[in-house]
Structure 1
């Protein structure tokens, strides 16, 4: 039996929760209240007049200590609750399930679908659950039962994206069904991608960039010399090559990116030997390219929010203008830069200020021709704007 703990919210933060903000911030509760909590406890949040605000669970996740899941005081957070939420989310993705060209997408997106701390992705019959705290992980059996009742899956997999010290860990990420023979080949807008759900934190593709990859393929790639930085498994490069790029260059520091990128090209019938795949630091590559007076018509910048090498650290919050300036220097006049970030700590307005700063510092004219946020399956709520984390702008260099 789970314990229910009542938390009195600091008046400074109670108003946002009453308006629908779902995350209970650590600074909104007292140290004494925190000391009473164990991950997975049911929490009832009240204002300083003891008026009920909402009910949820305790789970430490970034700056939060729990999520409000319901504003109904008598709501039980039981099997029926989880099944109903997941069933609604599946119904909202009906068009995706019926799409012949795409069979990988997000079917449950945390608080956007009513349960913060949980995401579920679909890969052609395989479901992958991601848990962002020990608190939500304690509801694991409810989610598994709901998926078992509501779907016909090949297998369920999971990723524990929280500190698991002291927890029993399975040998792999397989949960139920028939284990997959990885990599499996999924389709996205008619392009093949290899994914592995049982190989650490990453799967081989970031599903939130689906619309951006399609746009590169359909509108910007033809006839270009394309550079894909922080390229991971080369998904943007594949989209560009299929879209008619004359050549793609993929650059990533991780040694495994070479084999993974070769694999992605190969499953689409593209000769990887005609492409350029570099395992090296992106900032070193910028210097190399500038030194050799190399120019690109299309440059993709999709760095991690934070990265550290032996010689430097990179944070999008402070270093993105420097990254853009390096890209501007090797972009052809009238060429395009696709600038992207998944850093949730700032919004699109701030991101565009980074763009403006970089172009002003290099005395270069530009225009933003398109912009993207999260795709339709990554549902977000107006009350929690920072969860709409993806920011992508297509920039044309004019001078």
Structure 2
């Protein structure tokens, strides 16, 4: 096994449980040749720090799997980690009102670069590097031993440069599903397809936010859902008693997908407004027509590019929020959300403050959310707890 030396500046974080091996953390990473190979990490005095696998993922070159020098990385290791993760989600498996959730959340459950989601009897494995994909047999064998499933699906979210790719067929083994299947989330229905490109039809990490919208904020409101994808927030608002919902997304397929989500909940989609258009164009449209909304959801992708513009939450969120404030009614609520892992909640709140100051808006943050319990993360390192959601009330 090859030995890589960790630079002094990175040792303290590794000892505190930071398991991503940053590409700048080691002095001799050129020794690594094949993704998936195991290597040891040592300090400048050759003291053992951990055992990791080589896998290129964003700014990392791998993940620490164990800090025990003599622990083997074998079938028993993977089975033990996945078994522990399943036991921690026992309450979810016993909840008839929620049949889709995360059962293994990468480094939060001890193996970085992989996540496993459960959709009412179906498992979906997400692989984030070619390195972890080399351990596919171990992961599937563990699921074989520990669970009774209908089928296993997978998504390879990488290419040779560590970026995302799409597969033609995501089925791995079991009995192929007839999609869409209907899963439950806090009693709401959502149509899911595990074999249709990169997305499944719902983002599971927003489960607590959808429930809060339905139960506490939706009743009697005129709701706007921007970057609406399949309209899941709109469904939650409609079920919570919103007078009307407007869902806006640039993707053409968002129309049929949103109609589907309303329909599986018994909601008359024709009574809802579904628009296929650029969100920024919609803001201008709404301003021209002096539209005001009581409840606005802002959950943009971290990065997006259209023919006319490029959007990045790291630099453009204040402008986005300022646009939203201009069409939010007095005492209205904006649900501001981002999954950009490059900044934490403190920085996100500075974006909120900047937008409100620029628009002379008085505000208060009435709720905030991070990842739900099934998305286990090391709370010492905010980048792993990537989800940041603030419910902002506009006071004037």
TM-score bracket for the superposition, by shorter chain length: over 0.9
Partner of residue 395, structure 2 = 398
Match of 1:200 among 191, 197, 217: 197
Match of 1:67 among 46, 63, 66: 63
Offset of residue 38 of structure 1 = 1.4
Deviations 1:277-308 (A, max 9, x none): 00000000000000000000000000000000
Given candidates 15, 34, 38, the residue that maps to 2:34 is 38
- For 1:85 and 1:170, locate their aligned partners in 2 and report how far apart those are by CA, in whole Å: 27
Aligned residues: 394
Partner SS, residue 326 of structure 1:
helix
The gaps in structure 2 that reach 5 residues or longer are: none
Counterparts of 2:149 and 2:83 in 1: how far apart (Å)? 15
Q: State the alpha-carbon separation in 2 of the partners of residues 188 and 181 from structure 1.
A: 20
Say if 2:84 is the partner of 1:96: no
Q: Does 1:183 align with 2:152?
A: no
Q: Tell me if the contact between 2:255 and 2:275 (Cα under 8 Å) persists in the aligned partners.
A: yes
SS in 1 for 2:208: helix
Answer yes or no: is the 8 Å Cα contact 2:156–2:167 preserved in 1: no
Alignment deviations for residues 165-221 of structure 1 (CA, whole Å, 9 cap, x no partner): 8xx997400001000000000000000000100000000000000000000000000
Which position in structure 1 is the counterpart of 2:116?
Answer: 120
**Contact 2:168-2:197 within 8 A present in 1 as well:** no
Q: How does 1:11-90 map to 2 (within 5 A)?
A: 11-30=8-27, 32-90=28-86
What is the aligned partner in structure 2 of residue 375 from structure 1? Answer: 372
> What is the distance in 1 between the residues matched to 2:152 and 2:256?
26
Native 8 Å contact 1:22 1:384 kept in 2:
no
Q: TM-score, normalised by structure 1?
A: 0.97
Query: Which residue in 1 is equivalent to 2:2?
Result: 5
C-alpha distance after superposition, 1:13-43 (max 9, x if no partner): 122212221111101123x532433100101
Matched-pair contact (CA < 8 Å) for 1:59–1:66: yes
1:316 corresponds, among 308, 313, 318, to 313
User: Segments of 4+ in structure 1 off by > 3 A?
Assistant: 168-171
State the 1:311 CA deviation.
0.4
Query: What is the Cα deviation at residue 100 of structure 1?
Result: 1.1
Instruction: Tell me the SS of whatever aligns to 1:27.
Output: coil
String of CA shifts for 1:88-115, please: whole Å, max 9, x gaps.
0000000000001000000000000000
